[in-house]
Amino acid sequence: ASTHDTLIETRNVSKRFGGFLALKDISVRIPRGKLTSIIGPNGAGKSTYFNMLSGAHTPSGGQVIFDGQDITGLKPHDFAHIGIAKSFQITNLFPRFTALENVRIALQAHVSRYGLWRKRSALAGLEERAMDLLRTVGLQDRARHRAHELAHGQQRSLEIAVALAADPKLLLMDEPTAGMSPEETRTMMHLIRELVEARTVVLVEHKMKMVMGISDRIVVLHHGELLAEGTPDDIRSDEQVKRVYLGQ
Ligand code: ADP
Ligand code: MG
């Protein structure tokens, strides 16, 4: 992929926790407008890598490049401002507010951050825009329900709508189907695939089968190292990957 096709890239990124090297020289390019899944067994370093992409942690070495710009060491809120959003790490819902209110609050925060509140039209359209986002995640029928009344899977979908309120270029999700029923999992996977039509999505998942059918690219981490990367077909036929996932 050319630099233009790459939205975010890590160059030789490593992460050290005391004497423990959790990530070792990870160089990966995440293509624009695609769904990339980071997979690997528990303890592989997936969440640590996710934290590099989201800005939650600063690398111990190497660089993070977003849209051609070196963003290594920027603060988490700077990552948010340049268009990187994450879901499922910290629950950012107001439980006693309705689904619609939760999304509207997120939209309002986004609008006022950019001083768009001066434009009446920006505020006037908030309710409709919030409904649009609820429709995007399949919650249009739950608009007037309080967040805490929603089923687990629906709360997670609402979190996605809240993340989308900032109109991110990159949406990051760490194990979005954790704790979900098989049906909720199918719904969520379908939703994630739909989101990719309009933006770049990076998913972290330890269940390999789950992401194989929907991902454009797969990055496999193992013991903090880059084990393999490629299309789902490349990964399925990779001997090292087979060995790592044997019995799963
Ligand atoms: P995964 O998400 O693939 O299960 P993690 O990225 O959470 O793996 O963890 C990778 C390794 O780094 C694990 O061995 C874990 O114990 C270690 N680790 C993660 N975060 C910390 C931390 N804050 N301090 C010390 N060790 C950590
Ligand atoms: Mg993890």
What CATH number corresponds to the domain at position 219? 3.40.50.300
Q: Is 193 a domain residue?
A: no
Q: Is 194 a domain residue?
A: no
Residue-wise pLDDT for 190-244, tens only, equals: 999 999 988 999 999 988 888 999 999 999 999 999 999 999 999 999 999 999 8
Ligand 1 centroid – CA 118 distance (Å) = 44
With the most atoms of ligand 1 within 8 angstroms of its CB, the residue from 48, 54, 175, 205 to mutate is 48
Indicate if 136 and 160 belong to the same structural domain: yes
Indicate if 116 and 75 belong to the same structural domain: no
With the most atoms of ligand 1 within 8 angstroms of its CB, the residue from 10, 15, 42, 47 to mutate is 47
Residue-wise pLDDT for 31-74, tens only, equals: 999 999 999 998 999 999 999 999 999 999 999 999 999 999 99
Q: Is 195 a domain residue?
A: no
With beta carbons less than 8 A apart as the criterion, state whether 54 and 8 touch.
no
Number of domains in the chain: 2
What band does 134 get if pLDDT is binned at 50, 70 and 90? very high
CA distance 25 to 3: 19
Indicate if 127 and 247 belong to the same structural domain: no
Q: What is the mean pLDDT of residues 9-36?
A: 97
Quickly count: other Cβ atoms within 10 Å of residue 178's Cβ: 13
**Residue 224 alpha carbon, nearest atom of ligand 1:** 10
Q: Is 24 a domain residue?
A: yes
The two three-digit tokens of residue 78, written as one number: 């700077």
Q: Is 192 a domain residue?
A: no
Indicate if 31 and 78 belong to the same structural domain: yes
Query: What dihedral do alpha carbons 32, 35, 38, 41 form, nearest 10°?
Result: -170
Which positions ≥6 away from 39 have C-beta within 8 Å? 46, 204, 205, 206, 208, 211, 218, 219, 220, 221
Indicate if 180 and 213 belong to the same structural domain: yes
State the pLDDT at residue 245. 82
Does the ipTM exceed 0.90?
A: yes
**Segments forming the whole domain that contains residue 139:** 90-167
What band does 186 get if pLDDT is binned at 50, 70 and 90? very high
The two three-digit tokens of residue 10, written as one number: 């890590």
State whether the beta carbon of 51 lies less than 6 angstroms from ligand 1: no
Indicate if 76 and 106 belong to the same structural domain: no
With beta carbons less than 8 A apart as the criterion, state whether 147 and 176 touch.
no
Q: How many alpha carbons lie under 13 Å from residue 34 in its C-beta half-sphere? A: 19
Indicate if 97 and 67 belong to the same structural domain: no
Indicate if 51 and 68 belong to the same structural domain: yes
Residue-wise pLDDT for 80-129, tens only, equals: 899 999 886 556 799 999 999 999 999 988 887 766 556 666 667 888 99
* Residue type present at position 186: R
Q: What H or E segment, with its residue span, contains residue 232?
A: helix 232-236
